[in-house]
Amino acid sequence: MRPIDLFRTAAALACCAAAAGSVVSSLHAAGPISSHGRYSFARLGSPTVVLRGPAAERGETVTFVLPAGASARRGSFYIVDLHARVRIAPDSPPGNVYLMAESGGYGSAQIAFTVSGKGRAVEWTSVGAINGVEHHRSTSRTIDVRFSNYLPYKGIHPGRNTLAVFVRSFGARIAAATIYSDSAIEYVGSGPGRLVARASVNHPRVKVGSPVVATVQVRNAGGSPVHKIRVSWMLIGVTLTPATKRAVSFRALRPGEQQFESFRFTARTSGLSQIAFLVSSSANQTATQVAVAVSRTAAAAPPAPGAAAASANGKSGSAAWTAAGAAAAVAAVGAVSAILFARRRGKRSGR
């Protein structure tokens, strides 16, 4: 049985609708998605589709209807659960292929395939708010993909909504892309997880030779569990020497849960240093930092409570910071965060 080209079918139906009143939405969606649950593409009127050639670039558009007042906020969230198979052409040159999904024109999914050459493994990477960054490698050129992610807030509205799934090729070529009908839109009551971090230090002003203990509070302020959490640090300045592990990992935090991790350093020379903490997870990445002032004489009087903590948004800071120093540290943490996450990504993919 030949696969159905829904793009051409939809175009034909649209022409008919223009002449005799639109009934297209009833052919694409089995009523509005008004209660929590899983709504497969098949249930929404879209069977399994095989896309080849230019049809892969056009893709498949699934239509679903949401009731009045629908939005991806306040206890109403929507997830795309995509099941697909991508077959790289046997004679494909090196390059990249992207399997993408957009809800109302806003990006919902992107799985990037890297083809290095004939006979070599294919690597692919996905990033989402449910499983975070995922790296894969396959010696087969036929790759089954399952990917889930929350639909963006701006991609959801009352009435008729669209989810477009398509392929973009840059150098590499595909033989076919299959979008399975067991892919789905899920209507759920909880939003994505979201980690927030705050750093503090036992003594923000110390003398040379003193121990420094920095503690990071990591809390899940979102609506779903967060997994694959990793906390690492980087020193900005030369006054401190590490006496601790480089990073710690823990499996998960449920909504509202928090965990504290401590790291030890030794004050080596006088001056001002910042300890930047980078937090990655399946849901999001965040950063925070704290300052330590080292002097050759005894430490000054203890600072006011809370003065030691400094968050990445720059709202609070140590008494030792100047406004310019705090701004510079925030910028440094952002740059360092990007570099470290890029390095980790490169190591995982073997590059």
- Where in the chain are the domains? 6-188, 195-342
CA distance 32 to 66: 5
pLDDT of residue 161: 93
Cβ atoms 57, 168 nearer than 8 A: yes
CB 163, CB 105: distance < 8 Å: no
Name every residue whose Cβ is closer than 8 Å to that of residue 257 and which is 6 or more positions away in sequence.
Answer: 219, 220
Strand ranges of the sheet holding 159-170, from the earlier edge strand across to the other edge: 60-66, 159-170, 95-103, 106-115, 122-128, 132-138
Q: How many residues make up the chain in this entry?
A: 351
The predicted structure's pLDDT at residue 78? 93
Q: How many angstroms separate the CA atoms of 240 and 77, rounded?
A: 45
- Report how far residue 216's alpha carbon sits from residue 198's, in angstroms, rounded to the nearest whole number: 6
46 closest CA partner among 79, 77, 7:
7
Residue located via tokens 């003594």:
203
Q: Write out the CATH class of domain 195-342.
A: mainly beta
Q: Residue 72's pLDDT is what?
A: 66
What the block records as the tokens of 274 is 């910042």
pLDDT in tens, the chain (351 residues): 334 333 333 333 333 333 333 223 333 444 578 899 999 999 999 999 999 988 888 899 999 998 887 776 667 899 999 999 999 999 899 999 999 999 999 999 999 999 997 778 899 999 999 999 999 999 999 999 999 999 998 998 899 999 999 999 999 999 999 999 999 999 998 999 999 999 999 999 999 999 999 999 999 999 999 999 999 999 999 899 999 899 999 989 999 999 999 999 999 999 999 999 999 999 999 999 999 999 986 544 454 444 444 333 333 333 333 334 434 444 544 554 454 444 444 444 444
Residue 95 CB: number of other CB atoms within 10 A? Answer: 16
Sort strands 159-170 and 60-66 into parallel, antiparallel or unpaired: antiparallel
Residue 289: alpha-carbon gap to chain centroid: 22
d(CA 210, CA 266): 6
Torsion sign, CA atoms 299, 301, 306, 312: negative
Residue written as tokens 């306040």? 74
Give the global pTM.
0.71
DSSP state of 238: S
